[in-house]
Amino acid sequence: MSLIKILGVLLTFNFSVQATRHSHPLFAWETTPLDPINLARLVQDTNTSQYEHLFPCTGQKTPATPNRLSPGTCKVFPGDNDWPSPEAWDAFGKVLGGALIKTVPAAAVCYANTGLYDAQRCSQVQANFSNPYFHEDDPTSNFFPNFQGRTCLPTSDPRSSNCTHGAFPVYAVNATNVQQIQLAINFARNTNIRLVIKNTGHCYLGKSTGAGALSIWTHHLNDIRYFDDLKVDGFEQGGKALKIAPGATVRQVYEAADRNGVSVLGGICESVGYAGGYVAGGGHTPLSGLYGMAADHVLALQLVTAEGQFTTVSPKHNPDLYWALRGGGAGTFGVVTSVIIRAQPKLPVVTSTFSISTSDTVSAETFWKGMRGYFELFIPFTDAGTYSWWVLVNTNGNYVFSMSPFFAPNHTIESFNKLVKPWFDQLTELGIPFTPNTTQHDAYLPAWASTWGEDVMLNAAGGMNIAGNWLLPRRNWENRTKFEETFAVIKRHSESGRILMGYHQAPRNRANVDNAVNNAWREAVCFLILAAVIDAEPLAFTPGLIGAASREFRDEILAPFRAVAPESDGGGAYLNEAHVDDPNWREAFYGGHYERLSSIKQKWDPGHVFYATTAVGSERWEVRDGDQGIQTQNGRLCRT
Ligand SMILES: Cc1cc2nc3c(=O)[nH]c(=O)nc-3n(C[C@H](O)[C@H](O)[C@H](O)COP(=O)(O)OP(=O)(O)OC[C@H]3O[C@@H](n4cnc5c(N)ncnc54)[C@H](O)[C@@H]3O)c2cc1C
Ligand SMILES: *[C@@H]1O[C@H](CO)[C@@H](O)[C@H](O)[C@H]1NC(C)=O
Ligand SMILES: *[C@@H]1O[C@H](CO)[C@@H](O)[C@H](O)[C@H]1NC(C)=O
Ligand SMILES: *[C@@H]1O[C@H](CO)[C@@H](O)[C@H](O)[C@H]1NC(C)=O
Ligand SMILES: *[C@@H]1O[C@H](CO)[C@@H](O)[C@H](O)[C@H]1NC(C)=O
Ligand SMILES: *[C@@H]1O[C@H](CO)[C@@H](O)[C@H](O)[C@H]1NC(C)=O
Ligand SMILES: *[C@@H]1O[C@H](CO)[C@@H](O)[C@H](O)[C@H]1NC(C)=O
Ligand SMILES: *[C@@H]1O[C@H](CO)[C@@H](O)[C@H](O)[C@H]1NC(C)=O
């Protein structure tokens, strides 16, 4: 046995002792972080010493780096002289234990130019393109092709165009342990190439994709562990909690919580990655009326920093990161390998699903009186801890409003009926027919599973519309004049023929915590999802069409909502579902926290190893994508 191996064994032993002494529980694959000794052994075992300078964490024999932050400097791009050689990539793949994937766009099988054309496999890609899990299972595919640059959409005509990588990262690390994540960060930093983190690929803004990048793919890190009585820093009193790795989906987390007799705060879409973008962005939830945002209940996280160090983030360890990682947005402070979140008790839930519409007997005027009856009650509805999701469609003056569902945790059918009586009585008086399916459930999981969890979110992927959102504050309801103005904006939006989707909900700061969640969430009673629809087949999209839709979104669709609830007056946007080209994103997405978040970014990632569009620090960069109509990730990443 060589000396280095003996040292390695000794030090590995020391490190694992340290890990078990740690007050925060670790997953098995979090217990052996990279250090100089195991790296030296890894390099020796894989015969990669020629490239060993590419793998260490900052401060561990890293090469002197030139100033990479001067204006105009770009991240190294494929084809550049400095791009790592095939041998360097090969060595990287070896130290990763084979986890490096040279990526191929999912729809490459639909194109002749790739040499991979296969009619049958192509038709499967087409059939699955709206299925979230299809994109989730692929190392680089993502939900919303506009941000990728639409360079490899599934097509039935293999020769009509060529498939290129566009914004799909060129390499991905299929991470199954923390060491691989550290190595990936180190390799990207030491070679100055772009780094992307992809978990499920749900991002509404294209943050989980990037041209010429190395991607860390966290999909296969999907453990969930339940603790009946966990005591960690800052939560010495102990309690029920779950430790969750990023790749675990909202559905898996709900099921794990339910099996253990608890519930947990999560979103409505089953396929979102719980501990990745969801928690980092704040995380709204049907339980927000009782407990607030999901991020408000995060007790601790494990993080790999820009320097490649694996660390605990909690009220006592790195409190600045603890503050930022709960609401300040994903993809910019480090790679989260797990989150510990407090569990909540199982409580009964009432759901109610119904719709109202115009008809021979219900005029548009009557319909809007019924709508007003609903909106007027957002304060009592949110004060009663309830939440809703609804869709309002106007087809040539025929209106349909679908409540799907009204969600009332900790309510009985009796208390629910009492709560909605003023509205339901009014609908009856107006002669608007409706048949609510009001059902009592024993717990959160069955209530969610029989509503959003049915299959409603299984067609959510592949969307080509230009979307965004706005949060409307309670103060717009408390002042009668303001309410009238607000309701008029909602009505005009729908009258223009556009779809409106939204929620009544008020997370407030029910857990009384200090974190980076947008202050607009603390005031909101209404959350609206808005979109400009592009009337063309995806394959026929052009930068012109997309640009026109993006301007329509900003100037016609969003502007009236922003005017009636500006950032300076309690309004704002949820950064996880926002419009990527919002000119006022720092204020709108971060609600008063941007400066503090910027200084935390500066401290933990001064060299900007991490970049994601509209993430903290991103104003210092641009993606040079030419004119694609909207900000895509299909171009070089350069300093502004
Ligand atoms: C159909 C649909 C429904 C939704 N419903 C809800 C809802 O009810 N409530 C709600 O709050 N949100 C909801 N969202 C928004 C969702 O929370 C965000 O899209 C979220 O960013 C998805 O995170 P992800 O990790 O699954 O996706 P990804 O696209 O893989 O990642 C999103 C961002 O997080 C970063 N990231 C991912 N993993 C990590 C990690 N381990 N460490 C650091 N950064 C990471 C990525 O780099 C990227 O910037 C919904 C989205 C969709 C598409
Ligand atoms: C290690 O790599 C070198 C070239 O880089 C090669 O000559 C040598 O045979 C390799 N050794 C082993 C054990 O693979
Ligand atoms: C896609 O859809 C087809 C059915 O059309 C199915 O057989 C296949 O397994 C699905 N999944 C993938 C990953 O292609
Ligand atoms: C695809 O690429 C080839 C090679 O660059 C080129 O000759 C051809 O014209 C391209 N096809 C289309 C449809 O753009
Ligand atoms: C990624 O790793 C997992 C776990 O080892 C493995 O099952 C899966 O096949 C890998 N995926 C790819 C695309 O390499
Ligand atoms: C649920 O309702 C009960 C009875 O009204 C109440 O005591 C309890 O505090 C409520 N729980 C929450 C989390 O609001
Ligand atoms: C009513 O809603 C419940 C729960 O959401 C559902 O299980 C049931 O099938 C619905 N009933 C009808 C008649 O639609
Ligand atoms: C109510 O809102 C109107 C319109 O925005 C505003 O002019 C007025 O000052 C507000 N009243 C109060 C008491 O805040």
- Residue 279 belongs to a domain with what CATH number? 3.30.465.10
Centre of ligand 4 from the C-alpha of residue 83, in Å: 25
Query: Do residues 201 and 320 lie in contact, with contact meaning Cβ atoms separated by under 8 Å?
Result: no
Domain span including residue 300: 224-345
Domain identity same for 288 and 301: yes
Query: % helix / strand / coil in the chain, to the nearest 5?
Result: 35, 20, 45
- Dump pLDDT digits (tens) for 276-303: 999 999 999 999 999 999 999 999 999 9
- Report in angstroms the alpha-carbon separations of 11 from 47, 216, 288: 21, 27, 46
The answer to whether residue 637 scores a pLDDT higher than 70 is: yes
Q: Name the nearest CA neighbour of 302 among 282, 279, 270.
A: 279
Residues 450, 451, 453, 454: is their CA dihedral positive or negative? Answer: positive
Tens of pLDDT along 587-612? 999 999 999 999 999 999 999 999 99
Kindly report the CATH number assigned to the domain that includes residue 573: 3.40.462.20
pLDDT digits (tens, 9 = 90+) for 524-534: 999 999 999 99
Alpha carbon 423 to its chain centroid, in Å, reads 34
Q: Are residues 391 and 319 in the same domain?
A: no
* Residue 160: Cβ within 10 Å count: 11
User: Rg of the Cα trace of the chain?
Assistant: 25
Q: Does pLDDT of 10 surpass 90?
A: no
User: Ligand 7 centroid vs 129 CA: distance in angstroms?
Assistant: 29
- What pLDDT was estimated at residue 22? 45
Residue 252 and residue 268 in one domain: yes
Residues 310 and 420 occupy one common structural domain: no
Contact 518, 328 (CB under 8 A): no
Is 90 exceeded by the pLDDT of residue 66? no
Nearest CA to ligand 6 atom 14: 290
Same-domain status, 364 and 298: no
Tens-digit pLDDT profile for residues 239-277: 999 999 999 999 999 999 999 999 999 999 999 999 999
Given a cut of 90, is residue 170 above it in pLDDT? yes
Question: Are 535 and 514 in the same domain?
Answer: yes
**Residue 304 sits in the same domain as residue 435:** no
Determine which residue's CA is closest to atom 13 belonging to ligand 3.
Answer: 134
Shared domain for 383 and 502, answered yes or no, is yes
- My answer on whether 326 and 380 are in the same domain is no
437 touches ligand 7 (CB under 6 Å): yes
Instruction: Please answer whether residues 603 and 592 qualify as being in contact, where contact means their C-beta atoms are separated by less than 8 angstroms.
Output: no
404 lines ligand 7 (CB under 6 A): no
Distance CA 249, CA 256 (A): 11
From the CA of 381, how far away is ligand 7's center (Å)?
22
Query: For residue 276, which of 286, 285, 290, 266 has the smallest C-alpha distance?
Result: 266
Q: Give the residue whose CA is nearest to atom 5 of ligand 7.
A: 450
pLDDT value of position 12: 40
Shared domain check, 375 and 326:
no
Q: With respect to residue 264, please indicate whether it lies within any of the assigned structural domains.
A: yes
In a domain, 39, yes or no: no
In a domain, 398, yes or no: yes
For 187, the token pair is 């390799």
Position 234 scores a pLDDT of 83
CA distance 333 to 600: 8
How many domains, the chain?
2
Task: Give the closest residue (by CA) to ligand 5 atom 13.
Answer: 139
Strand partners, 367: none
Residue 177 inside a domain? The answer is: no
Candidate of 481, 489, 564, 568 to mutate for ligand 8, largest count of ligand atoms within 8 Å of Cβ: 481
**What's the 3-state SS for 292-323?**
CCHHHHEEEEEEECCCCCEEEECCCCCHHHHH
Question: Does residue 98 belong to any structural domain of this protein?
Answer: no
The answer to the question of residue 327 being in a domain is: yes
Burial readout 257-283 (b: 16 or more C-beta within 10 A, e: otherwise): bbebebbbbbbbbbbbbbbbbbbbbbb
420 with 448, same domain?
A: yes
Mean pLDDT of all residues in 108-123: 98
Span 324-329, mean pLDDT? 98
Pairwise CA distance, residues 17 & 557, whole Å: 57
| Angstrom distance (rounded) from CA 267 to CA 285 | 5
Q: Quick one: pLDDT band at residue 63, thresholds 50, 70, 90? A: low
Residue located nearest, by CA, to atom 1 of ligand 5: 174
Give the tens place of pLDDT for each residue, 463-483. 999 999 999 999 999 999 999
Helix ranges, 159-287 (H): 178-191, 250-259, 279-280
Q: Which of the two residues, 449 and 18, has the higher pLDDT score?
A: 449
Say how many Å lie between the CA of residue 10 and the centre of ligand 8.
70
Q: Is residue 514 pLDDT above 90, yes or no?
A: yes
Helix 364-375 to helix 480-495 angle, to the nearest 10 degrees?
Answer: 130
Which of these three, 276, 310, 345, is where a domain ends?
345
**Domain stops at, among 322, 345, 368:** 345
What the block records as the tokens of 442 is: 């024993």
Let me know if residue 302 belongs to a domain.
yes
Please name which of 619, 618, 622, 640 lies closest in space to residue 631, comparing C-alpha atoms: 622
pLDDT of residue 64: 54
**Residues 130/460, Cβ–Cβ less than 8 Å:** yes
pLDDT of the residue at 13: 38
Residue 14 resides in a domain:
no
- Measure the CA–CA gap between 417 and 412, rounded to whole angstroms: 8
Q: Using the mean position of ligand 3's atoms as its centre, give its distance from the Cα of residue 135 in Å.
A: 12
With a pLDDT cut of 90, the percent of the chain lying above it is 93
CA distances to 303, 336, 515 from 325, in Å: 10, 9, 8
One domain for residues 337 and 361: no
Task: Report how far ligand 4's centroid is from the alpha carbon of 548 (Å).
Answer: 28
Q: Decide: 311 and 335 in contact? Cβ < 8 Å.
A: no
Q: At residue 3, does pLDDT exceed 90?
A: no
Work out the mean pLDDT of the chain and round it to a whole number: 95
Q: Which of 323, 345, 367 is the last residue of a domain?
A: 345
Atom of ligand 4 nearest to the CA of 159: 13
Give me the phi and psi of 80, to 5 degrees please.
-70, 155
Closest to 455 measured CA to CA, from 251, 288, 256: 251
